[in-house]
Chains A and B, each alone.
Chain A
Amino acid sequence: MGLVVRVGGFGFTAKMMNDQDLGFFANLLGVFIFILVIAYHYVLADPKYEGN
């Protein structure tokens, strides 16, 4: 289900996002953020090791 909208007078048509598109976007963004958080931990990881 999506609504086709004509934008401007140049024949350009934009399709409005439907719930499936939004669901896909939200899933993708969520997993991407999760991976970015792990990447943040990797960037800031500082494996200092000091023995006695």
Chain B
Amino acid sequence: MAIPESPNPMKSSLRNASGGVLCYFILLLIGVLAFSIRIFSVIKYESVIHEFDPYFNYRVTQFLVKNGIYDFWNWFDDRTWYPLGRVIGGTVYPGLTLTAGSLWWFLNSLNIPLSVETVCVFTAPIFSANAAWATYLLTKEVKGTGAGLTAAVFLSMVPSYISRSVAGSYDNEAVAIFALIFTFYLYIKTLNTGSLFYATLNALSYFYMVCSWGGYTFIINLIPMHALLCIVTGRYSSRLYIAYAPLIVLGTLLAALVPVVGFNAMMTSEHFASFLVFIIIHVVAFVYYVKGMLSLRMFKVAVTVLVTIGMVVCVAAVAVLIAVVAASPTKGWSGRSLSLLDPTYASKYIPIIASVSEHQPPTWPSYFMDINVLAFLVPAGIVACFLPISDASSFAVLYIVTSVYFSGVMVRLMLVLAPAACILSGIALSECFDVLTRSIKFNLYNLFENPSPIVGDSSSDDSAVSEKVKYDRHSGSDTHEEVLKSRTSKKYKKKEKDVVEKIVRKPKNEKRLLVLPLEASIFTTVLIIILGSFYVIHCVWAAAEAYSAPSIVLTSHSHDGLHVFDDFREAYSWLSHNTEVNDKVASWWDYGYQTTAMANRTVIVDNNTWNNTHIATVGTAMSSPEKPAWEIFQSLDVKYVLVVFGGLVGYSSDDINKFLWMVRIGGGVFPHIKEPDYLRDGQYRIDSHATPTMLNSLMYKLSYYRFVETDGGKGFDKVRRTEIGKKNFKLTHFKEVFTTHHWMVRIYMLKPPKNRIRGKLKKSKFSLKKRSTSIKDSQISRPNPWH
């Protein structure tokens, strides 16, 4: 092997300068890519807010922009959850709204008159570019600039993240993922440098994350886990203390300032791990301090005494904690957090959480759909993190392990897995690129600048040289860490210098790099470019076809062209123009946010799902026959009932397919609603074999009223793929007022109560007596609170 010349400082600085320029250019292109890949929805459809939750966020942003921040904090919304209302300021995570509002205000102050809707639509793509740059910074701290760039490229187009950050997806995750990655970056930066400045920034970034998303609990549990891991593996240092303690103190204080969190930052079990590790790290720091001051024998005595006292205190504290927490039915954990720890919890005890599609566990193919080739690169990245292990790389491993577990519980949390997968994959590929490019460069150097054969080690013909110690940027960073240690610790300067000198000497003694033959290197590089191309093509396809649909507008392709289904907006527009401002609209909670935002009408329940009893009331009404349902809605001042029906066009996410959840949720609070009454032999049916309870339910009637008129009397449901059981029936207590073009949304008005009963007084008295006895009987067996 050729012995290289002594390093030329000019060449080295030129290489670094070129690398720096190239790095910034790549980062700029990554930002452009992250933005442009997310605007397929705007190109294919229009600049419109998507899904359901973003409509609430959009409405809140409109309010903030119109009325200012103080009215926003004190806003009580009486147009939702009628008659309860909702305290918006205290129940919303304000980060997204404040971010978009600030962006709108800033642009308008520069005389760029963008509408609030436009700013809201494009907030997510802008922050996805920021997230890609944050991933670069984080991975750079873990494994170097090359790994950072590779990870940033992956994150800019990973489908899992695209699904929640397309243009129009104005939801908390749009800014929260950026905040998550940036918080982790500042934590690692503090861990690497021991700087209080970065520690403070870390706390502020954590505060922004708490403002943005309930997923902040992931951070406040992962970082303590990592700190504990470092302590247990003997990697405690003053840098770890500086990275951890200010975050917990400042971060908790700042988190408590967010109204929706408040004292939960101290009282809920989700935060206890951070306090426990806070105590542990102080104990460890004290032990290290005492160890440095006492002799070995004295230290052992002190440890024995301290451990004894400490155990007594800990047992007492834990006993008190257990007593306090055990008093809570959920042991201090929120329902959603419990469902993460016990995946079967929600299905057993909280039907509302179980009914949400994004709370279901993912399927195996969804991993390949959402992270594609990264699924195969992650294990290689984990191995690379151990070669060699550092505080930062151990954090990356812990992050991927925990996020893989949580993504397996809930498909929505694939979003948290995406950055971890990109970081580990970036590390793996970067190590690969290091070897390949070094081999190519080395072989080209030998070929062109030093063509004569060199007599050297016989192993030069053997291309797979076994490596003894890999000298890469990371051992350089270890050396860098030691140098920093010497700067920060003045007292132990001499000792640190000795350590630094020893470490610096080590790489010089034995170092041999892995070099492959030129042809193999070039061929492998080409193969990896092809692999990367497959990833790019898949991501662009996913962004264009799978994740760009706004849900509010549906399309389908058939032999006679493209069909657009704009029934939802048609229905909301009808409500807006044909009903009074104070009219109340009842529907299943899925459509609450959209109805309030687009139709500007008061709703009974919405997607916030904060009141289970209220939702159960609506579910009971939908499950009951016409008259009891009318009475329920009448008691809630409802004037219109809205149902979504997909039987004509084949739209499967309609209310008939959701009906069993209405029954389950309603039956959870009102026991007279029993799920078996709606099933025939355990099967859910709407045809002639359906149960009478099902055929008489309000949901069935409102969905299939006049349905037979659409296909000449058959009444064939294209979703359930069967003819309906009850075909020709009349509504007694409801009146159809509007059905959209494709019958997807149907609106009914409650008929007003009858003024007087004619000629039925004797009969009603008789039936009243009979009813009272039958009511007594029924109350014994199936109490109905609505009679």
Contact = CB atoms under 8 A, between A and B. Distances in A.
Interface of A: 17-19, 22-23, 25-27, 29-52
Interface majority SS on A: helix, strand, loop or mixed?
A: helix
Nearest to B465: A49
Interface in B488-523: 508-513, 515
B470 to A, nearest CB: 12
B15 to A, nearest CB: 6
Contacts of B16: 44
B32 interface: yes
A21 to B, nearest CB: 9
Given A37-B149, A40-B19, A44-B19, A30 B33 contact: yes
B671 interface: no
Using C-beta atoms within 8 Å of the partner chain, give the interface range for chain B.
35 or more
B32 to A, nearest CB: 7
Nearest to A37: B149
Given A44-B145, A45-B440, 8 more contacts: A31-B532, A34-B536, A37-B433, A44-B146, A45-B441, A46-B12, A47-B442, A50-B3
B15 A48 contact: no
A39 to B, nearest CB: 7
A33 B471 CA distance: 27
Given A37-B153, A49-B4, A44 B15 contact: yes
A31 B528 CA distance: 11
Nearest to B537: A27
Given A19-B43, A34-B529, A47-B513, A42 B441 contact: yes
Given A38-B437, A43-B18, A44-B146, A30 B536 contact: yes
A2 to B, nearest CB: 10
A47 B153 contact: no
Contact of B33 (A19, A33, A51): A33
A33 B511 CA distance: 32
A38 B22 contact: no
Given A26-B33, A46-B15, A49-B3, A37 B43 contact: no
B480 interface: no
B442 A49 contact: yes
A17 B533 contact: no
Contacts of A19: 40, 43-44, 544
B462 interface: no
A43 B149 CA distance: 14
Interface in B7-51: 7, 12, 15-16, 18-19, 22-23, 25-26, 29-30, 32-33, 36-37, 39-40, 43-44
B229 to A, nearest CB: 31
A48 to B, nearest CB: 6
Given A19-B544, A40-B22, A42-B440, A49 B2 contact: yes
Contacts of B145: 40, 44
B43 A18 contact: yes
A40 B146 contact: yes
B525 interface: yes
Interface string B524-536: 0100110011001
A7 B330 CA distance: 63
Contacts of A30: 33, 37, 153, 157, 533, 536, 539-540
A52 B515 CA distance: 17
Contacts of B540: 23, 26-27, 30
A11 B445 CA distance: 56
Contacts of B437: 38, 41-42, 45
Contacts, number: 136
Contact of B43 (A22, A43, A48, A51): A22
B23 A40 contact: yes
Across the A-B interface, the 6 shortest Cβ-Cβ residue pairs? A30-B536, A47-B442, A41-B433, A42-B437, A34-B532, A45-B437
A26 B436 CA distance: 27
29 contacts: A17-B43, A22-B40, A26-B157, A27-B536, A27-B540, A29-B32, A29-B36, A30-B33, A30-B153, A30-B533, A31-B536, A34-B153, A36-B22, A37-B153, A38-B437, A40-B146, A41-B436, A42-B437, A42-B440, A43-B19, A44-B16, A45-B440, A47-B439, A48-B471, A49-B512, A50-B3, A51-B1, A51-B3, A52-B509
B430 A41 contact: yes
A43 to B, nearest CB: 5
Contacts of A33: 26, 29-30, 33, 153
A41 B150 CA distance: 10
A29 B533 CA distance: 11
A41 B39 CA distance: 31
A52 B441 CA distance: 22
- Choose among B32, B441, B515 the residue with the greatest number of A CB atoms under 10 Å from its CB: B441
Contact of B543 (A25, A26, A36): A26
A30 B3 CA distance: 38
- Choose among A33, A35, A42, A50 the residue with the greatest number of B CB atoms under 10 Å from its CB: A33
B431 to A, nearest CB: 10
A30 B544 CA distance: 14
Contacts of A50: 3, 508, 511-512
B359 interface: no
B139 to A, nearest CB: 12
B560 interface: no
B457 interface: yes
A52 B445 CA distance: 22
Contacts of A38: 433, 437, 525, 528-529
Contacts of A37: 26, 146, 149-150, 153, 433
A17 B36 CA distance: 12
B479 to A, nearest CB: 15
